[in-house]
Structure 1
Amino acid sequence: MKRQHFLLALPLYVLAVLYLAITTPISPHEAKLLYASHDIAAVLIQWSREYVPGFIGLRVFFIFFGFLSIWFFYELSRRHFEKREDAYLATFIFMLMPGIITASTMANIGIVVLPLVLLFVLLYEKGEMVWLPFIMLALFFVHEASIIFFVALLFYGITHKDKKLTIAASAFLLAFIYLAKGINIGGRPSGHFAEIFGLYATLFSPLVFLYFFYTMYRILLRGERGLIWYISFTAFTFSLVLSIRQRIYLTDFAPYVLAAVVLMLDQFNLSLRVRLPQFQKWYRRGFYIVMAFLLLSALIIIFHKTLYLISSDPEKHFAKRIYRPYYLAKELKAKGINCYDTENVRERYQLRYYGLRSCQIEW
């Protein structure tokens, strides 16, 4: 991807993210964070909404972390590709992934964790070890699911005989065990294993996820297993194993798998450039198809409100949980009604944001 094309796409992307952040009503997850949570994401929401009005006031910090993630990812790509055009392309793909667009425009802990993970890998590969303990400490306190990250560091440190990294990762893992922190594990075998593939397809877009799966497997068999691969593969494997017994939250795993875009493009380049031009045709066509689907997925997210409004059956639209309380609140307020009861707890929080209290429950 040429520099001028990337610089043309970047401001359009920024405008799209800001448009989504300004116009998208509060989501069920954001409403729960606002009224029933005390983690770092909830604190950031409380801080920002005091100074910035409207929906974007809920998301100012998360937009910043989203843009910061793109910058760190570009710097990381620069180290992995000899050609700067490849770094631009990898960053462009990273930006377009539905998980990145959504995380950058809606409050969630994943987009706070992602730049920390990218920065850790970037500094480690540069050999700048001074700041790494501080990043590890931040991840330890910010994200309980970062135990996945420390397990990956432990595996990498042992395999590559990095004693300092192994000791540091072991210390944090012991702290997780001592404080009984980490991912809750429980339940019994259920039907969530198939569900996790749908979640990842939503995170990456379907065809990109298929190539992610292929890349993880290909490197496992005969590729060079760097730090990014250990982090992404460990998180992906943990999510698959846990999904056999329980429903998982994608925000627990997404920050650790998204960096694999670098590996995916690198794997594609290896497959493409070892072949003569006349044998590259099908690889290029496949790439264009994947990019078309990725762009379509991004456009569906950006224009989801329009699609919701023109949908013949809004109840089947993926954004109904966001827009139903919003339009319900507008309708009730227009009638002079200031309270409404619903059994859905998160919807109750959404209506509370719009100024509608429960008619029966005292807050």
Structure 2
Amino acid sequence: MKKKYFHWLLFFYVTASFYLATTTPITPHEARNLYLSSDLVSLLMQWGSAIVPGFLGLRIFFVLFAFLSIRIFYELGQRYFAKREDVYLSTALFMFLPGILTATVLANVGIIVLALVLLFVLLYERKHFTLLPLIMLALFFIHEASIIFFVALLFYGIAYKDKALSMFSAAFITAFLYLAKGIEIGGRPSGHFIEIFGLYAAVFSPLLFLYFFYTMYRILLREKKTLMWYISFTALAASLLLSIRQKVYITDFAPYVMISTIAMVDLFMHSLRVRLPQFQKRYLRAFYVGIVFLVFSALMIIFNRELFYLSDNKEKHFANRIYQPYILAQKLKVKGVECYDVKGRMGLQLRYYGIPFCANDK
């Protein structure tokens, strides 16, 4: 990818991020975090609302964390690719992954975790070890699923005989077990295994996830295993294994899995360039088809507002739970209704729009 194309895509990504963060109504999950939680996400939402008005204020810190993630990912790409064009391509693909776009514009802990994990990998590979324990400590406190991250570090430390990394990761795993934190494990064999594949396909776009899965498997068998691969593969394998017995929340694992987009592009470029031009055509066709699916998925997210209002059956639209309370709030305000009783998270969304539970007024 040429530099000028990358700059245009970067401009479009930044513009789309601010557009979505400004125009997308508060989601049920965001409303629950804002009013019923006291964690870091809730705190950043409150701080942002005090600084910037409207929906953007709720999400401004998370948008900034996303931009930081893109910058760190770009720096990592320069360590993996000899050609700057490959750095541009991998970063552009990373920016427009549906999971990254969504995490950029909605208040969530995943984008904070993603930035910290990418920073950890970058500093480790540059042999800047001073801040690594602090990053590990931050992940320990802000993300209960980070035990997967520490397990991956332990595997890597043992494989490459890094005693310090092994000791620190083992200590954090022990702390998780002692405090009974981390991912809950239980249930019985059920049908969530296929579901997790569908969720990953939504996070990556379908064809890209198939190639990503192949990349993880190919590296497992034949290629050099980097720290980035250990983190992604451990998270991917853990999520697939857990899905056999229980429902898996993709937000617990996606930040660790998506960092290996670099490895996916690296493998594809290597497979493409070792072949003569006449044998590259099928690889390029597959690449273009994958890009079409990615672009379609990204546009569905960017223009979800317009697609919702154009939909004939809004109740079945994927964004109905976001826009329905917003539309209802506007109608209630026109009618002069000052309170409204409704069950579930929708009531919290209405509360954000200035329409509290009537029971609170009695």
Q: Return the offset for 1:362.
A: 6.6
CA distance in 1 between partners of 2:294 and 2:270 (Å):
21
Q: Return the offset for 1:172.
A: 0.8
CA distance in 2 between partners of 1:63 and 1:159 (Å):
36
1:111 corresponding residue in structure 2: 111
TM alignment of 1:109-258, pairs within 5 A: 109-258=109-258
Over 3 Å counting, the alpha-carbon distance change for 1:43 and 1:276 in structure 2 is: same
Residue 175 of structure 1 aligns to a residue in which SS?
A: helix
Q: Which moved more, 1:172-181 or 1:352-361?
A: 352-361
Q: Does 1:268 align with 2:268?
A: yes
Question: RMSD between aligned alpha carbons?
Answer: 1.2
CA distance in 2 between partners of 1:195 and 1:86 (Å):
32
CA distance in 2 between partners of 1:208 and 1:321 (Å):
28
Structure 1 unaligned blocks of 5 or more: none
TM alignment of 1:15-94, pairs within 5 A: 15-94=15-94
CA distance in 1 between partners of 2:29 and 2:199 (Å):
16
2:341 corresponding residue in structure 1: 341
Q: Which moved more, 1:167-176 or 1:350-359?
A: 350-359
CA distance in 1 between partners of 2:64 and 2:168 (Å):
29
TM alignment of 1:284-323, pairs within 5 A: 284-323=284-323
CA distance in 2 between partners of 1:129 and 1:91 (Å):
25
- Please list the CA deviations of residues 87-145 of structure 1 after superposition, one character each: whole Å capped at 9, or x if unmatched: 00000000010111110100000001101100111111111111111111111111111
Residue 148 of structure 1 aligns to a residue in which SS?
A: helix
Using the size of structure 2 for normalisation, the TM-score is 0.98
Q: Return the offset for 1:159.
A: 1.0
Amino acid at match of 1:28: P
Using the size of structure 1 for normalisation, the TM-score is 0.97
Residue 253 of structure 1 aligns to a residue in which SS?
A: helix
Q: Does 1:351 align with 2:350?
A: yes
- Please list the CA deviations of residues 263-293 of structure 1 after superposition, one character each: whole Å capped at 9, or x if unmatched: 1001101211111111000001110111111
Amino acid at match of 2:309: L
CA distance in 2 between partners of 1:237 and 1:205 (Å):
19
Structure 2 unaligned blocks of 5 or more: none
Residue 26 of structure 2 aligns to a residue in which SS?
A: coil
Amino acid at match of 1:219: I
Identity rate, percent: 62
1:96 corresponding residue in structure 2: 96
Q: Which moved more, 1:44-53 or 1:182-191?
A: 182-191
Q: Return the offset for 1:361.
A: 5.8
Q: Return the offset for 1:171.
A: 0.8
Q: Return the offset for 1:346.
A: 1.3
CA distance in 1 between partners of 2:52 and 2:244 (Å):
42
Residue 358 of structure 2 aligns to a residue in which SS?
A: coil
